[in-house]
Amino acid sequence: MSVYKIEYNDLKELQIFLYKKTGLYFEERKFDYLRIKLENRLDKLRIYSLKEYLNLLKTDLKEIQQLIDEITINETYFMREIDVIDTYFSKIIGYNHHNFSRIKIVSAACSSGEEPYSISILVMEKYPALVDKLNIFAFDIDSNVIEKAKKGIYRQFSLRAINRSTIDKYFIKNNGEYKINDKIKETVSFYNLSIFDPRAYEIMVGSDLILSRNVLIYFGIEYKRKAVNLFYESLKDNGYLILGRSESIYNVNSKFVMVHYPNVILYKKEVKNGS
């Protein structure tokens, strides 16, 4: 328990700092969460004033990364809303796959890797003809989750939505943990980057599909717009964006065209021939 009591005004100041630096926007209803995380960090560093801590953040990039690692919410699991991704493969790629020499997919804000690895498992299971064309890139702002993704070792809870035979096929069980097999691992390249980092744009550019699921909810409107515009600009013409089911870009970007399927919405960067 920290000796220093973090007050509302301190949190307000940190809220603005984080927003400007990272786009992460902690609404006031999340201040209790932020306070607990911050107290942990100040205790570890033996710093007892937020002013001192903010000064440190302004000069020490490593500390910003440490704080980001502490406060990001990384909840994810294998095969989360996989029907949406399956719809992309069945309806969009489907019989047209001969037109694609490769399929470039980016998982933006991939957390510990469950999302991009799930795409790879889905394709191996249901669309084997596409395996050799698949090129998956994934990044996240939190360095800890990227390390975990690269190791590819998971607890059973992460696998709660996969059936037993698929687990046996793609994971190696060891000491109660599950290691993703090399064949799947090789299909994904991971990077520790923010969506707003120009290097992330370099990775996204020319994508057929970008997934940005359950991350826009943590941004204020300005950064939401920025992120969605980056996705739009970096996608190939007629490429697609997938969002989390509870997310929408209503009021954020009007260039994407919504494509509806039963229970699924895909966002298309529609570019007509000659336009």
Q: Rule CB under 6 A: which residues touch ligand SAM?
A: 22-24, 72-76, 80, 109-111, 115, 140-142, 145, 194-196, 213-215, 218, 244
Q: What span, in angstroms and rounded, lies between the C-alpha atoms of 42 and 166?
A: 43
Least distance from C-beta 145 to ligand SAM, angstroms? 5
For CA atoms 58, 63, 69, 73, the dihedral sign is negative
Query: In this structure, what are the phi and psi dihedrals at residue 99, rounded to the nearest 5 degrees?
Result: -75, -10
Q: What span, in angstroms and rounded, lies between the C-alpha atoms of 241 and 257?
A: 10
The angle formed by the CA atoms of residues 140, 41 and 45, to the nearest 5 degrees, is: 125
Our CB check for ligand SAM shows the closer of 110 and 188 to be 110
Least distance from C-beta 272 to ligand SAM, angstroms? 31
Helix and strand tally (H, E) in the chain? 11, 10
Least distance from C-beta 252 to ligand SAM, angstroms? 15
Our CB check for ligand SAM shows the closer of 74 and 90 to be 74
Our CB check for ligand SAM shows the closer of 121 and 215 to be 215
Our CB check for ligand SAM shows the closer of 22 and 187 to be 22
Least distance from C-beta 144 to ligand SAM, angstroms? 9
Our CB check for ligand SAM shows the closer of 158 and 187 to be 158
**Contact status, residue 241 vs residue 253, Cβ threshold 8 Å:** no
Q: Of the candidates 218, 216, 204, which has an alpha carbon nearest to the alpha carbon of residue 252?
A: 216
* Matching residue, tokens 């997919």: 105
Least distance from C-beta 231 to ligand SAM, angstroms? 12
Least distance from C-beta 72 to ligand SAM, angstroms? 3
Our CB check for ligand SAM shows the closer of 2 and 253 to be 253
Helix (H) / strand (E) containing 183: helix 182-185
Least distance from C-beta 139 to ligand SAM, angstroms? 6
Would you list the DSSP string of 29-67? GGHHHHHHHHHHHHHHHT---HHHHHHHHHH-HHHHHHH
Long-range contacts of 47-53 (CB under 8 A, 24+ apart): 47/4, 48/2, 48/3, 48/4, 49/4, 50/4, 50/6, 50/10, 50/13, 50/14
**Contact status, residue 107 vs residue 138, Cβ threshold 8 Å:** yes
Our CB check for ligand SAM shows the closer of 54 and 217 to be 217
Our CB check for ligand SAM shows the closer of 185 and 224 to be 224
Least distance from C-beta 94 to ligand SAM, angstroms? 24
